[in-house]
C-alpha cells in the first residue's frame, strides 16, 4: 500500500470525522509564538466563534489543550472540591468515564444508572436529587457509545430547582444538533474538535456560566490539576495574556478555520443537514432489517448505533469496509462491544454521498456474509426518503 | 499586514521553534482514525524514535496528548500518591511549577531552593535527602527561565543511593543536548515537541523506567488524573490497542516526521550543531557587552538567557525585532521579568544564518536605543568564533 493511498479514508466512525482541506491547509501554516500578536488575535476569534457555536455569552469560553476527555476532566476538577457531592447520570461509556473522573478528584459520587441505549426521564433525576442532593449533576448530551440523545431543557429546570449546577458532555453533539448553553442554562460544558466540528483531534472547547465561575473563584482548595486549572488558563485567554502553557498553535489554526466553516454554513442549516442525512441512512438501514440500539425517538443524528445482524461477523465486515471501500465505521463500545456498529455522520463526513456510498458498500459486505435481500433495496429506500422532503 | 506576511517569523524565543516544511506537510495530511492500522503503525514508529531520542529501552515511552506541562503532570501524578514525599529542586519557573503540580496531587513537597541562574551542587541534594528522605526527586535538566543546564550523572547516583526515583524535565534539552535516560538512570522524564524537536506544540514525549512502572503498578490509589493515567494509556500504545482517548492524529504525524529528521541528522551531530551556534552567538553578544544571567559553565546551548543592557528598553527592542525583522525572542520569566532576554537556538531555528541575522538586527535595535559601539562588531566576533573550529 503506498503512503498516499493509506491516508485515503471516508471517516464514518464515532470520530474523527473527515477534515476539510481548508482546515488542513490552515493547520499547515508556519508555527508562530503563543504570545505573538497575530496568534492572540486568533484566540479572540476562536473564543467568539466558540461562543456562537455553544450559543452562549459566557466569558470563560476557550479551547482546552487536550482532547474531549481533557475537556471533561477540566470541567469536573474545576467545579469539584474533595468531598463535594456529584450526581452522574450513567447510560453509556462516557457517563461511566465522568463518574470515574469525579471520584478521582475526591467527589462523593452518586451514580444514577439506567439501561444502556435509553435516555433519562426527568423524574428519575428529580428523585435522585431528592434522595442525594448534589453540588453538580453531570449529564451526557450525546452518548457516543449508545447513540442516545438526552433532552436537556426539563432536566436543567429540575437540576437548578434542586440548587445544583448542570455539567454537560457535548463532545459528539456540538455543531451537529442543537446545543443552547445559555437557553438551557448549562453551567459547564465541554466538547471535542474531531466530531461535528470536523477539525483534527487535540483540543476541547469548554464554556462555564457566571455561576460556575463564581463557584470556581470561591474554591477553598487549589484545582487538583495544574494543567487544567481555569483560574490560571483564563489569564492567558483574557486580555492579561499571562503565559500558562504553550498553546498548541497549529491545532488552534485548524480550530479557527473549522469554526469559520460552521459559522458560514450557519448552525440551523448545519443541524438540519445532520438530521436529514440521518433519516436517509436510517431508511436505508431499515430496508436491510437493521435496527438501532438507541431508544426510539432519542436516536442521535450524527452517531447511528445499530445492532449487528445475527450471523454477521463484526470484525470481518468492518475490515472489508476499510480495506475494500476505505470506509471507517466504529465498533461497539463497552457493553455493546461485538453487538453494535457505530456509523458516524459528523460534520464534513455528513453528506448524502457518504450515506449512499456506505449503504452500497454495506450491501456488498452483507452479500459476503450470506445475507439474502433484494440487491439495491437500501439505496432505493434511501432515495425515497431523500425525496420525501 | 497581509495574512501571509503575518505568519512569517524567525522563532528565536523559548519555543515554539521554526517548524520544517516537511513536518508542516506531514501534519496537513488527511486525518485518519485513532484505531486505523496505518495510524497504529505510526505510533509504533513514534515510540521507537522516541526511545532513540531519549536514549532508552524503556517500554513505557509515548507522547502524552498535551503540551510539555501535561507531560510534567503525567510524570508527577503517576508516581505520587497522597502523602508521598517529593523533593523538588527549584532554581527557576519550571522547578516552581513542578513543586506546585506535586503539592496539588497530595505530595508532601520539600523544596530545595537555590538562586535563580545557578545550578545545583550534588552535595546540596545529598544533604537535603539526608534531612528529608523522598520517594521522588524532581530536577529540571534545562531550566528555560534561567538558561541553566543541570548536570545529572552525579545527581542520579546520589538520588538512587538514597533510595529515591529521579524525575527529570527535559522539555528544552531533548534533541538539543545530550539526554541519556538509560545511561543516567532517569526513572521518569518528560519533554515537549516545540523546542529542539521543532514540531508544533501539543504533545509531550514521556518515558518511564521499569522501576517507575513497577511503582505505578503497585499504587494503592488510582492516579488522580483519568486523562493522564499511564496504566490506561499504555494499553492503547501497547499491542492491546485499547481505546482510551482519541489521540491527536495530525500532531502525531508531525511528531513522527520531526523525529525522523532528528534520526537522519543523528543525535551527536545535532547536539554539536546546537553547541557550535551557541558559541558563535555568545561571542557576538559578548562583543556588545551582553552577559549571560546563567552561571558560567552551565549555560544552555539552545536557550541563551542574557541580561538586558542598562538603559535599553525591553519591550521596545522586542517589538522592533518582531515588527521590523520578524524575529521573535523571549522576555524574562518570573524573577527575570524585564531583566533578561531569552534567545532560543532550538532545532530548525538553530542555524548560523539565524545567529548572524539576529546579531545584525540586535545591533540595529541597540543603535535606536542610543547605545554606542563599533558597528558590525558582533558579526566580526561571531565570524571569528565560527572559523575557530
What would the DSSP string read from start to end of A229-254? -HHHHHHHHSTT----S---HHHHHH
Q: Does the pLDDT of residue A1 top 50, yes or no?
A: no
Q: Does the pLDDT of residue B239 top 50, yes or no?
A: yes
What part of B 313-332 touches A (C-beta under 8 Å)? 322, 328
Looking at residues B174-197, what average pLDDT do you find? Answer: 98
Task: Mention every residue, 6+ apart, whose C-beta is less than 8 A from residue B111.
Answer: B87, B88, B90, B99
- Strand partners of residue B331: B341
pLDDT of residue A6: 76
What part of A 200-219 touches B (C-beta under 8 Å)? 200-202
Mutate to test the interface with A, among B202, B321, B331 (most CBs of A within 10 A): B202
Q: Tell me the shortest Cα–Cα distance from B41 to chain A, in angstroms.
A: 11
pLDDT of residue B2: 45
Task: Mention every residue, 6+ apart, whose C-beta is less than 8 A from residue B245.
Answer: A67, A68, A69, A70, B65, B227
CATH number of the CATH domain containing A230: 3.40.640.10
Fill in the DSSP letter of residue B4: T
Looking at residues A337-366, what average pLDDT do you find? Answer: 98
Cβ pair B32:A24 closer than 8 A = no
pLDDT of residue A152: 98
CATH number of the CATH domain containing B375: 3.90.1150.10
Residues B87 and B199 in one domain: yes
Residues A117 and A41 in one domain: yes
Residues of chain A found within 8 Å of residue B65, distances taken between Cβ atoms: 66-67, 70, 202
Cβ pair B24:A30 closer than 8 A = yes
Its sign, for the CA torsion B352, B355, B358, B360, is negative
Task: Mention every residue, 6+ apart, whose C-beta is less than 8 A from residue B160.
Answer: B166, B185
- Which among B149, B95, B113, B191 is positioned nearest to B305, based on CA atoms? B149
> Which residue of chain B is at minimal alpha-carbon distance from A10?
B32
Cβ(A55)–Cβ(A181) below 8 Å: yes
Q: Tell me the shortest Cα–Cα distance from B202 to chain A, in angstroms.
A: 5
pLDDT of residue B24: 97
Task: Kindly report the length of chain A.
Answer: 389
pLDDT of residue A325: 97
What's the pTM? Answer: 0.97
**Distances from the Cα of B3 to the Cαs of A40, A41, A204, B181, B220, in angstroms?**
14, 12, 26, 43, 54
Looking at residues B7-27, what average pLDDT do you find? Answer: 96
Last residue of one domain, picked from the residues B264, B286, B315: B264
Residues B240 and B298 in one domain: no
Residues A105 and A224 in one domain: yes
Q: What's the first-to-final CA gap in chain A, in angstroms?
A: 42
Looking at residues A344-356, what average pLDDT do you find? Answer: 98
pLDDT of residue A5: 58
Residues of chain B found within 8 Å of residue A246, distances taken between Cβ atoms: 15-16, 67-68, 192, 194, 201
Residues B285 and B187 in one domain: no
A31 reaches B (C-beta below 8 A): yes
Instruction: Report the domain count for chain B.
Output: 2
Cβ pair A27:B105 closer than 8 A = no
pLDDT tens, A55-111?
A: 999 999 999 999 999 999 999 999 999 999 999 999 999 999 999 999 999 999 999
Looking at residues B235-242, what average pLDDT do you find? Answer: 94
Q: Does the pLDDT of residue B4 top 60, yes or no?
A: no
Cβ pair B194:A7 closer than 8 A = no
pLDDT of residue A165: 98
Task: Mention every residue, 6+ apart, whose C-beta is less than 8 A from residue A128.
Answer: A87, A110, A112
Residues B326 and B362 in one domain: yes
A149 reaches B (C-beta below 8 A): no
CA distance A54 to B180: 47
> Which residue of chain A is at minimal alpha-carbon distance from B195?
A246
Residues of chain B found within 8 Å of residue A13, distances taken between Cβ atoms: 33
pLDDT tens, B322-358?
A: 999 999 999 999 999 999 999 999 999 999 999 999 9
A133 reaches B (C-beta below 8 A): no
Selecting from B100, B194, B248 the residue whose C-beta is nearest the C-beta of A200 gives B248
Cβ(A282)–Cβ(A299) below 8 Å: yes
pLDDT tens, A12-32?
A: 999 999 999 999 999 999 999
Around B106, how many Cα atoms within 13 Å sit in the side-chain half-sphere? 17
Last residue of one domain, picked from the residues A229, A264, A299: A264
Q: Does the pLDDT of residue B50 top 80, yes or no?
A: yes
pLDDT of residue B157: 98
pLDDT of residue B3: 52
Domain region containing B305? 5-15+266-386
Last residue of one domain, picked from the residues A238, A264, A290: A264
Q: Does the pLDDT of residue A4 top 80, yes or no?
A: no
Residues B33 and B150 in one domain: yes
Helix (H) or strand (E) holding A138: strand A136-140
Residues B120 and B256 in one domain: yes
At residue A86's C-alpha, the angle toward residues A81 and A91, to 5°, is 140
Confidence band of A340 (pLDDT split at 50, 70, 90): very high
> Which residue of chain A is at minimal alpha-carbon distance from B254?
A28
Helix (H) or strand (E) holding A379: helix A377-386
Q: How confident is the prediction for chain B on average, in pLDDT?
A: 97
CA distance B145 to B14: 8
pLDDT of residue B1: 40
Selecting from A8, A66, A248 the residue whose C-beta is nearest the C-beta of B227 gives A66
Residues B56 and B9 in one domain: no
Residues A233 and A277 in one domain: no
B230 reaches A (C-beta below 8 A): no
Residues A319 and A235 in one domain: no
What part of A 175-194 touches B (C-beta under 8 Å)? 192, 194
CA distance A78 to A76: 6
Q: What SS3 class is residue A98? A: helix
Cβ pair B226:A328 closer than 8 A = no
B272 reaches A (C-beta below 8 A): no
Looking at residues A286-291, what average pLDDT do you find? Answer: 98
pLDDT of residue B6: 76
Task: Kindly report the length of chain B.
Answer: 389
- Which among A119, A116, A117, A99 is positioned nearest to A108, based on CA atoms? A99
Selecting from B33, B34, B66 the residue whose C-beta is nearest the C-beta of A70 gives B66
B306 reaches A (C-beta below 8 A): no
Confidence band of B5 (pLDDT split at 50, 70, 90): low
| A144 class by beta-carbon count within 10 Å (0-12 exposed, 13-18 middle, 19+ buried) | buried
CA distance A360 to A51: 39
Residues A256 and A295 in one domain: no
Confidence band of B11 (pLDDT split at 50, 70, 90): very high
Amino acid at each position: 500500500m503506498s503512503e498516499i493511498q493509506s491516508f485515503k479514508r471516508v471517516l464514518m466512525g464515532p470520530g474523527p470525522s473527515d477534515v476539510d482541506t481548508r482546515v488542513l491547509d490552515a493547520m499547515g501554516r508556519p508555527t508562530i509564538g503563543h504570545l505573538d500578536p497575530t496568534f492572540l488575535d486568533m484566540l479572540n476569534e476562536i473564543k467568539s466563534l466558540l461562543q456562537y457555536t455553544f450559543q452562549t455569552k459566557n466569558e470563560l469560553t476557550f479551547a482546552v489543550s487536550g482532547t474531549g476527555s481533557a475537556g471533561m476532566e477540566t470541567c469536573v476538577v474545576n467545579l469539584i472540591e474533595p468531598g463535594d457531592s456529584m450526581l452522574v447520570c450513567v447510560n453509556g461509556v462516557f457517563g461511566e468515564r465522568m463518574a470515574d473522573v469525579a471520584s478521582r478528584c475526591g467527589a462523593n459520587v452518586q451514580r444514577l444508572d439506567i439501561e444502556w441505549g435509553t435516555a433519562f426521564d426527568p423524574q428519575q433525576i428529580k428523585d435522585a436529587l431528592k434522595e442525594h442532593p448534589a453540588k453538580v449533576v453531570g449529564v451526557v448530551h450525546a452518548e457516543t457509545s449508545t447513540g442516545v440523545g438526552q433532552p436537556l431543557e426539563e432536566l436543567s429546570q429540575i437540576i437548578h430547582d434542586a440548587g445544583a449546577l448542570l455539567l454537560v458532555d457535548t463532545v459528539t453533539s456540538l455543531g451537529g444538533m442543537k446545543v443552547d448553553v445559555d437557553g438551557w442554562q448549562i453551567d459547564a460544558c465541554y466538547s471535542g474538535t474531531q466530531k461535528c466540528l470536523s477539525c483534527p483531534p487535540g483540543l476541547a472547547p469548554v464554556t462555564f456560566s457566571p455561576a460556575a465561575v463564581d463557584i470556581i473563584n470561591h474554591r477553598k482548595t487549589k484545582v487538583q490539576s495544574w494543567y487544567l486549572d481555569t483560574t490560571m488558563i483564563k489569564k492567558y485567554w483574557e486580555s492579561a495574556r499571562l503565559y500558562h502553557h504553550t498553546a498548541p498553535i497549529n491545532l488552534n489554526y485548524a480550530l479557527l478555520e473549522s469554526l469559520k466553516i460552521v459559522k458560514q454554513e450557519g448552525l440551523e442549516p448545519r443541524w438540519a443537514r445532520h438530521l436529514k442525512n440521518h433519516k436517509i441512512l436510517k431508511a436505508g438501514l431499515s430496508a436491510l432489517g437493521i435496527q438501532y440500539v438507541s431508544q426510539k425517538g432519542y436516536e442521535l443524528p450524527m452517531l447511528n448505533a445499530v445492532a449487528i445482524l445475527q450471523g454477521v461477523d463484526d470484525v470481518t465486515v468492518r475490515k472489508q469496509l476499510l480495506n475494500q471501500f476505505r470506509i471507517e465505521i466504529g465498533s461497539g463500545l463497552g457493553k455493546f462491544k461485538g453487538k453494535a456498529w457505530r456509523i458516524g455522520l459528523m460534520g464534513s463526513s455528513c453528506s448524502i454521498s457518504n450515506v449512499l456510498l456506505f449503504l452500497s458498500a454495506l450491501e456488498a459486505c452483507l452479500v459476503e456474509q450470506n445475507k439474502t435481500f433484494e440487491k439495491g433495496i437500501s439505496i432505493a429506500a434511501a432515495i425515497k426518503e431523500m425525496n420525501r422532503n
